[in-house]
Copies of this chain bind each other. A is one copy, B any other.
Amino acid sequence: MPRRVDQEERKRQITDAVVRITVKGGLASATFREVAAEAGVSVRLVQYYFGTKDQLLLDTQRHVAERSVARIQRLLADLGEDPEPRDVLRTIMRSFVPVDAETHQAMLMYVVLFTASLVDPVLKRAEAADVPASMRDAFAHQLRRARLRTGVDPDREALVLLTLVTGLAQGVLDGQISAPEAFATIDYSLDRVLRS
């Protein structure tokens, strides 16, 4: 195995440890020492790969986002060729709702890192806005392809659907909304936007 692939795998093993620790005890508990112990590597190796805690968190954020994007792409591929806009929107929106350990971890890390970035300028890099911005573009694109009900503005509605889905996902994470209720609310919202 080439050295570069090996390095990437080792880094991912370490950021996976960050996720497991954060899910249990929050970001403050993810010290280099704890992360190294959880990942089964030396503190020196964590320092060598990431240098600073901020860099470790940025790479964790990137790995979590990459995994979520890959999951959405698999779900979209399952829809077959040339899927209906409603099915694309529904699939993407549903993918945010925590229903198992992986989706729960992904949403929790998103919330935790978003919150940290509000008070830590280093974590607030420009790329952090890429995911919501590209989601919003994807929503607007699908809405423009669809038969919309009267009064629906694709660009405004894309923002409404995006904020709705992050709000629902946070409610499920918190236990204030059940996953079935979130799914039903997604379907209700799409019915209000798209002609049947």
Contact = CB atoms under 8 A, between A and B. Distances in A.
Contacts of A153: 188
Contacts of A192: 151-152, 192
A149 B192 CA distance: 10
A160 B185 contact: yes
A119 B25 contact: yes
Contacts of A181: 159
A191 interface: yes
Given A22-B119, A176-B129, A192-B151, A185 B159 contact: yes
- Identical chains bound together, number: 2
B129 A191 contact: no
A156 B184 contact: yes
A138 interface: no
A88 B12 CA distance: 49
B174 A163 contact: no
A162 B167 contact: yes
Contacts of A164: 160, 163-164, 167
A111 to B, nearest CB: 5
A85 interface: no
A74 B129 CA distance: 35
Interface of A: 22-26, 28, 108, 111-112, 114-120, 129, 132-133, 151-153, 156, 159-160, 162-164, 166-168, 170-171, 173-174, 176-177, 181, 184-185, 188-189, 191-192
